[in-house]
Amino acid sequence: MKDNVQQEKGNKWVTRISYAIGAFGNDWFYAVLSTYFIMFVTSHLFGKGDNAMILYITNIIALLRIVELFIDPIIGNAIDRTKTRWGKFKPWIFGGGMVSSIALAVLFTNMGGLNRTHPFIYLAIFAVLYISMDIFYSFKDTSFWSEMSSLTFDSGEREKISTFARIGSNIGANLVGMVIMPLVLFFSLTKNGGSGDLRGWSMFGMITAAIVIITVLVVCFGTHELDSDLRKNKEETKLKDVFKVLLGNDQLMWTAVSYGLYCIGINIFNSAELYYFTYVLGESSKFAIIGTINMILGFFSISAFPALAKKFNRKNVFYACILIMFCGAGLLAIAGKNLALVVLAMEMFAAPQAVIFLVILMTITDSIEYGQLKLGHRDESLTLSVRPLLDKLGGAIAGWCIGPIAILSHMTSGYTYKTITPGNVMTFKLFVIALPVVLILLGTFFFWKKVTLTEKRHAEIVEQLEKSWGEKNDTSVGTGEHAVAGEYDIVAPIKGTYLPLKDVSDQTFASGQMGQGFALKPSDGAVYAPFDGVVRQVFPTRHAIGIESEHGVIMLIHIGIGTVNMHGTGFVSYVEQGQQIHKGEEIMEFWDPAIKKAGYDDTVMVTITNTKEFDQVDVLPKDNQTIDSSTNVMKLIKN
């Protein structure tokens, strides 16, 4: 483990930057596919009046993306089973990135005029290319974000890598909006009222493919997967299992319903913005303004989220963001051709989206413990898989809508902003402004009425799980057997001054409900493994950890009293559930001044939760004795 940590420190900046570049390419591709590809289909792929072909294409795209939801579990399982000299994820990042980017570049063409000479052959080839592109992108996307778990075992470093990745994602997703029309128009032979031509869009497709390939190579050469027993024995995720978890976990289900409606609404609105600039304003080149401001505001909104959530709580932040979005939608409805008002309206709608995403992500993550308490088992991977499924479903349904909306509004090939009538604009606004508002309002209603999982409630749930840990809601990944007969000397996992467990202020521990043990007033923030064994559970707030020795001794190490309310601030975990640990290895670290500053008791409590399995349990230290991490503190005997 220490060797891994040293290796990570030596390469951490290369890893962070390489991974951020990978996130940039990943989200550039996704933005092009989910937001701008449909503009190419409706405006340039077919001639004026070829509405049937546009509908065929949009139906094919939507149906294939929905079918792909059922393929995703197979993709995840295939990735989990991958074993190569290059690691588990890199082959899929490389292969998936190459195939999907080349396929997308081909889709941004008319395939040599096949769309006009043999339209149904074109549709068949399009369908095969699109599903292939989407599947290989899913391989790459799933592998890319999964690779983060293999880059480091340090949760603090993971947070840094995640932050870099989020910055890269923000730049990639929004830079597309800044450059797409300038690039398309630069390479176009005819401007077509500001929408460009087939040549311009095809060149943009090739540029996108080149960007993806370059960023994929950076990830493959700039990151290194660390091997661990932690990453083995993954279970296959099946779509039916996702629905089973949804139905059993009502907080996850209602959050999913809310977010699903929200996703459809924002995808319709976001996809329509370029249409507005092209066909209403006649200023497609100025669409770059939106991408530029989105990128800048994205940094501020992401950075501001922790402080906002702490001061106002997540749900209030969510409602405030929704209100701002509704004000933006209302302003766009009356903005007409006033560029300043249009930009302001679209930014009011766009800026809160990153914050809402984080609120939903945190709520879904918290629902893991809610489900664990309610159902008696922990469904971490299945719960977290719900959010990307909803993103894809929302994008698919929104894409299904945009084609017919463009046809009804006369915003297709052969039309320009000069031919669009006020009636066309009214039809367009009805579908791309009013419909999203209704969907988001409905989602917000469900979030307000049905989602009760606040930060305070989550902290209470974690405390309940702590009290029942080792009895119900057992997440053991250890031996799964009873303790083995024998005599066991247990050393202290932390340095400090001994305190009898009965004297601590937490009655759950003082009463012996959590098993016999001892307490310490810490003199150091490092926590070491007291024996060889396996991690049974790292609590989400990182203030407690459950471990099991190779002989079946189950220990809970709990840092502080009331520290669950710190939500992980000041705590770092170097291990994860299922990871093998060795005696003397540092498994956790905490910043004691942070606990005291927050007003909580920093007493560390250590208990043997399966005390009843032993015939004799002796706690060895005396009151106020100074304890070192190598001091024998307990003797356990099982006949």
User: Looking up tokens 């004000």, which residue turns up?
Assistant: 327
User: Which two three-digit tokens encode residue 569?
Assistant: 């601030």
Which position among 482, 558, 567, 582 bears the catalytic label? 558
Whether 558 sits among the annotated catalytic residues: the reply is yes
Distances (CA, A) of 396 to 52, 67, 133, 391: 19, 10, 15, 9
**β-pairing, 571-573 with 554-561?**
unpaired
- β-bridge mates for residue 486, sequence order: 638
DSSP annotation of 121 reads H
Structure tokens at 185: 């128009």
| Token pair listed for 493 | 């996992």
Residue by residue, DSSP assigns 230-269 as: GGSSPPPP-HHHHHHHHHH-HHHHHHHHHHHHHHHHHHHH
In degrees and rounded to multiples of 5, residue 527 shows phi and psi of: -120, 125
With residue 66 as reference, give the H or E element that holds it. helix 51-80
The Cα-based distances of 482 to 438, 478, 552, 556 in angstroms read 56, 11, 6, 17
**Is 94:136 a contact under the CB 8 Å cutoff?**
no
Task: Name the H helices within 314-352.
Answer: 314-335, 339-350
Instruction: Name the DSSP letter for residue 434.
Output: I
How far apart CA 491 and CA 268 sit, in angstroms, is 60
Q: φ and ψ at 82, to 5 degrees?
A: -75, 130
CA 479, 480, 483, 489 dihedral sign is positive
Report the C-alpha gap between 167 and 26 in whole angstroms: 12
Phi, psi for residue 181 in degrees, rounded to 5: -75, -40
- The phi, psi pair for 404, rounded to 5°, reads -60, -35
| Alpha carbon 206 to its chain's center | 28
* Burial classification of residue 97, based on how many CB atoms lie within 10 Å of its CB (0-12 exposed, 13-18 middle, 19 or more buried): buried
Q: Among 227, 245, 249, which residue's Cα sits nearest to residue 237?
A: 245
**466 close to 539: Cβ distance less than 8 angstroms:** yes
Return the SS3 of 336: coil
Q: Could you list the active site residues?
A: 558
